[in-house]
Amino acid sequence: MNDIIRPWEASVQNKMPANIQDVTTIVGYGNNNLSLKQQNQIVGAYKMEAYDMAAEYAWKKAIIKLRSSLADLGMDFIAEFVQRDDIDEYTPIENVLTERATIDLAERLGVINSTGALHLRQAQELVNHYLSANSEVEMTAIDSLSVIRPCVEYILSEANVKVAVAFSEFRKRLLNEDLRRDDATVMQIINSPLFYIRTVITILLSAIKKNKQIVQEHALFNLSMLLPEVWHKLSSSDKWLIGETYRDVVASGDVTATKGMKITLGKVGGFDFVPETLRSTTFKEMARKLIDVHDSYNNFYNETSVVKALANLGTRIPAPAFLICLDAYLLVYLGNYYGYSRAAAPIAEEELKKISKDRWQAYFTEYIQTDDRILCNLDTQTQVYRMKALLENVGATDFADLPRDNKILYDSILKCDYSKIRQVSKLMYQKLI
């Protein structure tokens, strides 16, 4: 993966020396975005041993800055990326992107690099844990610095955290030109990790649905040219998204978009991913809500009502919604670094037990290597043990014909080989970014 030239790169960070441990020096690197008074507030709280206060202040400042950088792209782009039609230019970005979604989108667009995103996700878990009603201990000095440092190093130290100009220009070209297969940037996209490809596909599908005439024509042409080249890289959930777009343009009566999408799907055998009903939409929305709750404050408490609501939608999960529902249930069942919800996890476990063995085998064969959320949630021995116990309970312990890396990960889970799991899941995740 090291020799891949990305079409747009993560911004160059103002690297902080690794040996710096003094809070005053660390916070000083944030002088591009923190006034002297604000720096003194963080340092003062820390030195008074109000570690949670110092961490929370730095975290909020960093998230505000990161959201502001993404908002500069325009809320129309944010809307197309999160696939919501209820967002306009006046919608506050904090109403659209959770803290976790903000970090994920920033990573995909190159606002922060993968290392920064990893440290920021860990910082978020620390903040959520210590500020939740379930926390029984006070934040330590070490944990406080584990929040403050990545906030400063990857966000607040930057004079102007912006999406790369290369990305903005490429987005314009996607919607205003018929690109050639041998175009240098197109070739970079084809050879890029999945995150980049997903971004491009999302932009094109949104333009096809929302625009008419020349912009729509360019989007249809570029999708038809690009999709056969990247279809084999896409996960099933990505393919269902394309199939759902075809359903939507048919339903809207858009003859041009329908014809163009039909031709494109015919090139890749994509009609298997065109949904027959609208039932999946409700499942997807509730699953996304459960994932958002899992990533937010007091998740152990708030997960219960949402996982119940998802479970009550029906006993059979529609195929287009299966993967996101599986992810949502697994996230609740596995929990995070600090444990899992004693009320919500059993509900998720019962729903996971209803999934057929064939679907579990398909998951480990076709999807787990692209499931960034679950790859990042096999991070503790407790999570690994719970995953093993689940597979044993559903009788999914004898899968043999799996892709090589998938098989190594699967076997390691069954053996509770914690170090091997961390190694393989990290490599899989790095291939995505």
Asked if the structure places residue 4 within a domain, the reply is no
What is the rounded end-to-end Cα distance, in angstroms, of the chain?
9
Looking at the structure, do residues 331 and 409 belong to the same domain, yes or no? yes
Asked if the structure places residue 302 within a domain, the reply is yes
Asked if the structure places residue 3 within a domain, the reply is no
Give every CB contact of residue 208 below 8 A, 6+ residues apart in sequence. Answer: 216, 219, 220, 223, 245, 249, 257, 260, 261
What was the pLDDT predicted at 163? 55
Looking at the structure, do residues 391 and 315 belong to the same domain, yes or no? yes
Q: Is 196 exposed, middle or buried (0-12, 13-18, 19+ CB in 10 A)?
A: buried
Last residue of a domain, one of 273, 302, 324: 273
Asked if the structure places residue 12 within a domain, the reply is no
Looking at the structure, do residues 304 and 423 belong to the same domain, yes or no? yes
What was the pLDDT predicted at 237? 84
Q: Count up the domains in the chain and report the number.
A: 3
Looking at the structure, do residues 232 and 318 belong to the same domain, yes or no? no
Asked if the structure places residue 282 within a domain, the reply is no
Range of the domain at 307: 291-432
Give the pLDDT of the chain (433 residues) as one tens digit per residue: 344 445 665 544 557 888 888 999 999 999 889 999 999 999 999 999 999 999 999 999 999 999 988 887 778 778 877 777 788 888 889 988 999 999 988 887 778 888 899 999 999 999 999 988 777 889 999 999 999 999 999 999 876 655 555 667 778 889 999 999 998 888 888 988 887 888 899 889 989 988 888 999 999 999 999 999 999 999 888 899 899 899 999 889 999 999 999 899 988 988 888 876 656 777 888 999 999 999 998 999 999 999 999 998 877 788 888 999 999 999 999 999 899 999 999 999 999 999 999 999 999 999 999 999 999 889 899 999 999 999 999 999 999 989 999 999 999 999 999 999 999 998 998 888 7
Last residue of a domain, one of 134, 156, 178: 156
Cα gap 379→422, rounded to integer Å:
7
Looking at the structure, do residues 197 and 257 belong to the same domain, yes or no? yes
Looking at the structure, do residues 386 and 303 belong to the same domain, yes or no? yes
What was the pLDDT predicted at 61? 96
Asked if the structure places residue 313 within a domain, the reply is yes
Asked if the structure places residue 296 within a domain, the reply is yes
Q: How many C-alpha atoms does 230 have within 13 Å on its Cβ side?
A: 28
Looking at the structure, do residues 175 and 129 belong to the same domain, yes or no? no
What was the pLDDT predicted at 282? 77
Q: Is 298 left (phi over 0), alpha (psi -120 to 50) or beta?
A: left
Question: For residue 340, what are its two tokens?
Answer: 């899992």
Asked if the structure places residue 1 within a domain, the reply is no
What was the pLDDT predicted at 8? 60
Looking at the structure, do residues 332 and 215 belong to the same domain, yes or no? no
Looking at the structure, do residues 338 and 366 belong to the same domain, yes or no? yes
Looking at the structure, do residues 311 and 428 belong to the same domain, yes or no? yes
Looking at the structure, do residues 76 and 171 belong to the same domain, yes or no? no
pLDDT (tens digit per residue) in 111-132: 888 889 999 999 999 999 998 8
What was the pLDDT predicted at 69? 83
Displacement of CA 336 from its chain's centroid (Å): 16
Last residue of a domain, one of 131, 156, 181: 156
What was the pLDDT predicted at 159? 67
Give every CB contact of residue 284 below 8 A, 6+ residues apart in sequence. Answer: 320, 321, 324, 325
∠133-136-141 over CA atoms, to 5°? Answer: 105
Looking at the structure, do residues 264 and 369 belong to the same domain, yes or no? no
